[in-house]
Copies of this chain bind each other. A is one copy, B any other.
Amino acid sequence: MNAVEMGHGSGGTLMEELIQRIRSVFSSSYLDQGLDSAILPPVDGKLAFTTDSFVVRPLFFPGGDIGKLAVCGTVNDLSVVGATARYLSSSLILEEGLPLETLDRVISSMAAAAREAGVEIVTGDTKVVEKGHGDGVFITTAGLGSIREGIDLSGALLSPGDVLIVSGSLGDHAMTILGLRESLGFASALTSDCAPLNGMIKALLDSKAEPLFMRDITRGGLAAVLCELAALRAAALEVEEDALPLRDEVRALGELLGIDPLSMANEGKILVAVRESRADAALAALRAHRYGRDARAIGRVVALGAEGVRMRTSSGGMRRVTRPYAEKLPRIC
Contact B42 A93 (CB under 8 A): no
Partner of A93 from the list B7, B48, B55, B221 (CB cut-off 8 Å) is B55
Residues of B within 8 A of A36 (CB): 50, 76-78, 80-81, 215-216
Contact B40 A326 (CB under 8 A): no
Among the stretches A129-137, A161-169, A203-211, the one at the interface with B is A129-137
Residues of B within 8 A of A91 (CB): 51-53, 140, 142
Q: How many copies does the complex hold?
A: 2
Residues of B within 8 A of A10 (CB): 219-220, 324, 326-330
A100 within 8 A of B: no
A330 to B94, CA, bound (A): 12
A250 to B11, CA, bound (A): 19
How far in angstroms is the closest Cβ of chain B from A165? 17
Interface residues of A in 25-59 (CB under 8 A from B): 33-55
A125 within 8 A of B: yes
Given A13-B326, A53-B127, are A39 and B45 neighbors across the interface (CB < 8 Å)? no
| Chain A positions near chain B (C-beta within 8 angstroms) | 5-16, 33-55, 76-78, 80-81, 83, 87, 89-93, 122-130, 132-135, 138, 140, 142-145, 147, 154, 215-216, 218-221, 224, 228, 232, 263, 265, 323-331, 333
